[in-house]
């Protein structure tokens, strides 16, 4: 089955690519393994030089790569530019900090000398999604490469041009051949890659269903695994929140990337004192969003990435309305060519509706009215997901206390959830396990090796 690159704004096929056969795949994995053996012996200072060169290349060619992202998955062009810039910053961050993060640590024990040293695992398989087709890859690849690993990428099937561009970018930065390789394979070949003797670990960003399959296969073959899966992040608005500021941030938090983000705010949980006033401000701002061509600077809502994604989203919305939710605004596809969906708000979502329990991956905000602050916290935790969360309040001390009770990988207070190379990123429950970014992220794919030394005197021999 070929890879198909398709422009979602115009419903036009851009390019097709033939998937690799088993022999091609095996050859690429063996080459990656050989490249990793040499790279592991390369001084970390040299690895940093290469990653800095990758960052320079990204910045010089930013507009070219941004245009490719926009064309292939529909992201607003200005958001695509920001994504490329973030990739460059991520490369620079790990080039600067990896040596400190991986420095050998002396530990006082009963030995004459003992320490923990960090060594690469080998070849890491990265199974990556389409919604941030550059950043998701770089946030996994930059630390893995700096740690001395090789990376083989199985990218989403609808962004093959981005996948091939990523390999070219690392090559242009001076990475040795084979050390970062895009595998043009089908999803059902992933299990063969995990099983291969050439691969030592796997990291996946994607759906809960994909995560379960990859985790099961990795467990079967005793391979290290990190999963960053779906999310249904709560956005809790308390009675003392600055409503104008919070409504502005709510729009950005929900509708960035056309709402197609695992860490987008999805469940807007409102206490009764401010529910109507917040919704009035929020609705007016959502209805003012301009839907259109993602290459135009004034467009605020572009197309969804695929037709099937739009159809799934609309079915979730219509089912929820039939179950009692109220369509406050939008809640239907836009009447134009391409895979557009109106910026939407579903009000009065309850635990009897589909939207309450599922992740809505698109430009639809769901509103859940809590009976109290305590009820809002309980609702926030009534989900199988646990990726991000946010609390909006002017009482910072109180908000911090409440944050400790939310079951999620992160809680932001008066700010939208985002990934930052300086902070660990990941979830709990069905949102996955393990961490990306920061020191914790680079240490996921190393062998923390204990070395214990006794000085033996002649009389002890």
Taking the CA of residue 192 as centre, how many other CA atoms within 13 Å lie in the half-sphere pointing to its CB?
16
- Which architecture does CATH list for 233-413? 3-Layer(aba) Sandwich (3.40)
Category of 209 on φ-ψ map: left (φ > 0), alpha (ψ -120 to 50) or beta: alpha
Category of 307 on φ-ψ map: left (φ > 0), alpha (ψ -120 to 50) or beta: alpha
Specify the pLDDT at position 461.
52
| CA separation, residue 80 to residues 162, 297, 302, 304 (Å) | 12, 12, 12, 14
What is the rounded (10 degree) CA torsion for 405, 407, 412, 413?
-20
Specify the pLDDT at position 458.
72
């698109």: which residue's tokens?
A: 362
Distance of CA 378 to the CA centre of its chain: 26
CATH pick for 3-229+427-451 out of 3.30.1050.10, 3.40.605.10, 3.90.950.10, 1.20.120.1200: 3.40.605.10
| CA separation, residue 66 to residues 19, 205, 424 (Å) | 25, 21, 26
Specify the pLDDT at position 457.
80
Give the H/E segment covering residue 283.
helix 275-287
Task: Using 70 as the pLDDT threshold, list the residues of the chain that sit under it.
Answer: 1, 459-461
Catalytic residues, which ones?
228, 262
Q: Where are the domains of the chain?
A: 3-229+427-451, 233-413
Bridge-partner residues for 234, per DSSP? 267
- For the stretch 110-130, pLDDT in tens is 999 999 999 999 999 999 999
Please tell me what DSSP assigns to residue 304: -
**Distant-in-sequence contacts of 187-190, Cβ < 8 A, 24+ apart:** 187/154, 187/157, 189/20, 189/22, 189/25, 190/125, 190/127, 190/154, 190/214, 190/217
Contact between residue 332 and residue 318 where contact means Cβ atoms under 8 Å apart? no
Q: Is 236 helix (H, G, I), strand (E, B) or coil?
A: strand
Please tell me what DSSP assigns to residue 57: H
The DSSP result for 68-121, as a single string, is HHHHHH---HHHHHHHHHHHHHHHHHHHHHHHHHT--EE--SSSSEEEEEEEE-
- For the stretch 147-193, pLDDT in tens is 999 999 999 999 999 999 999 999 999 999 999 999 999 999 999 99
């Amino acid at each position: 089955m070929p890879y198909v690159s398709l422009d979602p704004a115009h419903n036009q096929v851009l390019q097709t690519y033939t998937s690799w056969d088993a022999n091609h795949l095996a050859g690429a994995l063996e080459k990656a393994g050989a490249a990793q053996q040499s790279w592991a012996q390369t001084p970390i200072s040299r690895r940093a030089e290469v990653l800095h060169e990758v960052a320079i290349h990204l910045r010089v060619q930013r507009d070219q790569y941004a245009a490719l992202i926009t064309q292939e998955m529909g992201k607003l062009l200005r958001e695509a530019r920001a994504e490329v810039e973030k990739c460059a910053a991520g490369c620079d961050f790990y080039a600067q900090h990896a040596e400190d993060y991986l420095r050998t640590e002396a530990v006082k024990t009963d030995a004459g000398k003992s320490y923990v040293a960090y060594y690469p695992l080998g070849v890491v398989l990265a199974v990556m999604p389409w919604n941030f087709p550059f950043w998701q890859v770089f946030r996994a690849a930059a630390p893995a490469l700096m740690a001395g690993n090789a990376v083989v990428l199985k990218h989403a099937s609808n962004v093959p041009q981005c996948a091939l561009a990523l390999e070219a970018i690392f090559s242009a930065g001076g990475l040795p051949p084979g050390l970062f390789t895009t595998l043009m394979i089908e999803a059902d070949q992933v299990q063969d890659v995990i099983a291969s003797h050439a691969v030592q670990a796997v990291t996946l960003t994607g759906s809960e269903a994909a995560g379960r399959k990859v985790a099961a296969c990795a467990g079967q073959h005793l391979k290290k695994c990190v999963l960053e899966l779906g999310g249904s992040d709560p956005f809790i608005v308390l009675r003392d929140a600055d409503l104008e500021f919070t409504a502005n941030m709510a729009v950005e938090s929900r509708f960035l990337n056309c709402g197609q983000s695992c860490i987008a705010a999805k469940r807007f949980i409102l206490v009764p004192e401010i529910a109507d006033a917040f919704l009035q401000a929020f609705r007016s701002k959502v209805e003012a969003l301009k839907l259109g061509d993602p290459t135009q600077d004034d467009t605020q809502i572009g197309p969804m990435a695929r037709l099937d994604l739009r159809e799934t989203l609309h079915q979730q919305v219509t089912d929820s309305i039939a179950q009692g939710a109220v369509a406050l605004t939008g809640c239907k596809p836009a009447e134009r060519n391409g895979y557009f969906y109106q910026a939407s708000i579903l009000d009065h979502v309850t635990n009897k509706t589909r939207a309450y329990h599922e992740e809505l991956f698109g430009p639809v905000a769901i509103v859940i009215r809590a009976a109290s602050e305590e009820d809002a916290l309980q609702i926030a935790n009534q989900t199988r997901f646990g990726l991000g969360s946010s609390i909006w309040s002017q009482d910072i001390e109180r908000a911090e206390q409440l944050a400790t009770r939310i079951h999620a990988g992160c809680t932001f207070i008066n700010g939208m959830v985002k990934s930052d190379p300086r902070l660990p990123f990941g979830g709990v429950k069905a949102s996955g396990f393990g961490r990306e970014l920061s020191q914790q992220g680079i240490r996921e794919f190393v062998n923390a090796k204990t070395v214990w030394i006794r000085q033996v005197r002649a009389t002890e021999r």
